[in-house]
Structure 1
Amino acid sequence: MQKLVIVTAAVLATALSTAAFARTVTSTIVSVDAKGDAITLADGKTLNLPEGIEVETLKAGEKVVVTYSTTSGKSLVSSIQPAK
């Protein structure tokens, strides 16, 4: 029984840490939610902006390179730059 608990804990820890890895995408912003501090990309993914990234500096139609991570089903941007 104790081995089962240890194995289960290890599997859960691995699964949760995998979800936190950063991903980088190049896409076009299709909408900006100033109230919710979020953007929606052309693929339909909505990403939340942290303090320090001002939503007012972004606009729909802008092509960007975004680095983000997903934790507990919520995607949080760590970096956003204009695409070249």
Structure 2
Amino acid sequence: MNKSVIATATVLAIGLATSAYAKGATGTIASIDKKGDSFTLSDGKTFALPENIEVETLKVGEKVTVTYSTKAGKMEASAVQPAQ
């Protein structure tokens, strides 16, 4: 029983640590780079898009909430949703 408690605690700790690296930002899309698969918010933050998010679904002037992580100094979006 002790082993299962330790295993469960380890899995929870890893899950919480992983989610701690995800960050969020809300803003208005100022520009879209279709060739570079990225977009920039009006505050100057630029986010690269993964293959599962199509740049064509975004529109300049749209207010969005971005979930992202930073990899090699680059902000990479994992989700982009309309802001409320």
Per the TM superposition, whether the score is higher than 0.5 is yes
Counterpart amino acid of residue 74 in structure 2: K
Q: Give 3-state SS (helix, strand or coil) of 1:59's partner.
A: coil
- After superposition, the C-alpha distances for 1:20-65 in whole angstroms (9 at most, x for unaligned) are 8111111000000000000001110110000010000101100001
The runs of 5 or more residues in structure 1 that have no matched partner are: 1-16
Identity of aligned residues (%): 62
Q: Give 3-state SS (helix, strand or coil) of 1:67's partner.
A: strand
- The TM-score, its normalising length taken from structure 2, stands at 0.74
| Number of the residue aligned with 1:36 | 36
| Number of the residue aligned with 1:25 | 25
Q: CA RMSD in A?
A: 1.5
- The TM-score, its normalising length taken from structure 1, stands at 0.74
Matched residues, number: 66
Structure 1 residues 44-63: aligned runs within 5 Å? 44-63=44-63
Give runs of ≥4 in structure 1 deviating > 6 Å.
none
The runs of 5 or more residues in structure 2 that have no matched partner are: 1-16
